[in-house]
Structure 1
Amino acid sequence: MRNGHADAGEMNEVALPERREGFLNRRSLLVGSAVSLGALGLAGCATDGMSLAEAERVYGPVPDEKFPIPAVDVTKVDPKYFRRTVRYDTREAPGTVIVDPGNYYVYRIEDDGSATRYGANVGRDGFRWSGDAYVGRKSEWATWTPPAEMIKRQPEAAKYARGMPGGLDNPLGARTLHLYQDGRYTLYTIYASSDPESIGSGITSGCVGLLSQDMIHLYNRTPVKTKVVVLPA
């Protein structure tokens, strides 16, 4: 890590992926080392929840995508991580995205004193970071390229040294928000995860994952330049 940014060789690193039918397991995610920056602590409380039947609808299949997205097995997700509207007291402007890694949530601030809250996976111990960033660019079904350091540790990743095309098994998933600071890519992202069991856990190298259906919902409402606040864990 140099000056708050991961070294170039750490870009798009997947944390300890496992084999799954010849692919890298998307249970692990992205990138590098921790960033030490200050952030403002904020709080939210739930105002309405989601029934299992509603969750099955919200997290159902998305057949019209370039790569059709299957339904989430919602029985593998703690219901407290289902998308919901919560009251949220903050000085941040509507539209701001706030990541709360200590509680495994991502919030999008609305304009009525509330927020849309999503369950998330976050960085594992030693890879968590905090601070202010912004969405520098957005990607749909992005190409993923493992760094040389990862290939050295995990030779099975070498087949993707020139890039793994977008698809259901690509670690970046259906949508990616790339986080920047001062005009520079931090190498951290908010991305789409197809692994329901990862939600509510620390498994990545600093990136933040939402269920694909939640990530599409957030992505469609989050333009480039949106402020992102990552709270201390």
Structure 2
Amino acid sequence: MIRVLLPSRSSAAITLALLLSACASATDRVPSTAPRPVREGANVEAFKPLGSNPIEMYSEKTDAGFNIPGVNIGKMNPEYVRQVVSYTTDEKPGTIIVDQKARFLYLVQPGGKAIRYAVGVGPVARAFNGGDAVIAKKAAWPRWIPTPDMVKRNPAHYGPNKDGVEGGPWNPMGARALYMHKDGKDTYYRVHGTNDPSSIGKAVSAGCIRLLNQDVMDLYERVSPGARIVIQG
């Protein structure tokens, strides 16, 4: 993992910008030769430009009266910074694609591009088994209830919270959640924030797709209920 040391705020943006310009990975795709227009009826919010300053993107925030700690980007893998990458796919702009093996979530944009977010996923035994679903609804500071299987698997850990945990910084769902349904039924998988930033890039969750709170808040504003989500691997 590459570590970036940013000695000061003024030099931070310059240093990180140089690093990001060279942080292409194996998951980046060759740009499309034919830019895709935004389709009629698409959610225009999905295609808003990103902020240009990573320090501001991951700064401390207050939301609904809750404090969201800032992320020290000086200790952050540059590839995990929210960014626009080249990405070729047959999926329509506005579609969410999650590469569980690479630990990235892509929000498809027009013109052979995507916004890439780093994610944490579940281990193979509990990961979503692939395929597509629909974002049926979304929620800010969602209430969390462990499933009966989670309580059965680890009663000491999940048992005390079997009746649910109200939304807030202490809640493992984080600041936002997108609820995945398939064939009209809840899959019980979510795309959500986390109160454990160290889990990003790892396969340690109970099976859901987790993002940094700053990233899931950005994704939440870009995605509307009814959006298609494709889970790979």
What is the TM-score when the length of structure 2 is the normalising length?
A: 0.73
| 1:47-96 residue CA offsets vs partner (Å, 9 max, x unmatched) | 9xx9xx93322100112433121111324431111111011111111100
Q: Provide the residue aligned with 2:104 in structure 1.
A: 105
SS of residue in 2 equivalent to 1:44: coil
- Letter aligned with residue 122 of structure 1: V
Across the two proteins, how many residue pairs are aligned to each other? 187
CA distance in 1, matches of 2:221, 2:161: 29
CA distance in 2, matches of 1:96, 1:119: 16
SS of residue in 2 equivalent to 1:124: coil
Structure possessing the higher relative contact order (Cα contacts under 8 Å, 6 or more residues apart): 1
CA distance in 2, matches of 1:159, 1:201: 25
SS of residue in 1 equivalent to 2:193: strand
Q: 1:150 to 1:90 in 2, by over 3 A?
A: closer
CA distance in 2, matches of 1:102, 1:154: 29
Alignment pair present for 1:44 and 2:28: yes
Compare CA radii of gyration and give the structure with the larger one: 2
CA distance in 2, matches of 1:61, 1:223: 25
Q: CA deviation at 1:45?
A: 4.2
Of residues 141-150 and 220-229 in structure 1, the stretch that sits farther from structure 2 once superposed is 141-150
Of residues 149-158 and 95-104 in structure 1, the stretch that sits farther from structure 2 once superposed is 149-158
1:179-218 superposed matches below 5 A: 179-218=180-219
SS of residue in 1 equivalent to 2:62: coil
Contact 2:86 2:112 in 1 (8 A): yes
Q: What RMSD in Å do the two structures reach over aligned CA positions?
A: 2.3
Greater strand proportion: 1
CA distance in 1, matches of 2:212, 2:166: 20
Contact 1:144 1:171 in 2 (8 A): yes
Greater helix proportion: 2
- Letter aligned with residue 71 of structure 1: G
CA distance in 2, matches of 1:86, 1:123: 24
Q: CA deviation at 1:136?
A: 0.8
CA distance in 2, matches of 1:150, 1:131: 23
CA distance in 2, matches of 1:74, 1:43: 22
Q: CA deviation at 1:183?
A: 0.5
Contact 1:59 1:213 in 2 (8 A): yes
- Structure 1, unaligned stretches of length 5 or more? 1-41
Of residues 96-105 and 187-196 in structure 1, the stretch that sits farther from structure 2 once superposed is 187-196
1:16-27 superposed matches below 5 A: none
Q: Provide the residue aligned with 2:56 in structure 1.
A: 57
Contact 1:121 1:201 in 2 (8 A): yes
Contact 1:73 1:196 in 2 (8 A): no
- Letter aligned with residue 28 of structure 2: G
SS of residue in 1 equivalent to 2:126: coil
CA distance in 2, matches of 1:118, 1:136: 21
Q: Provide the residue aligned with 1:78 in structure 2.
A: 77
CA distance in 1, matches of 2:230, 2:176: 19
| 1:155-201 residue CA offsets vs partner (Å, 9 max, x unmatched) | 35433232210010101111000101110000101001232221111
Q: Provide the residue aligned with 2:87 in structure 1.
A: 88
Q: Provide the residue aligned with 1:162 in structure 2.
A: 163
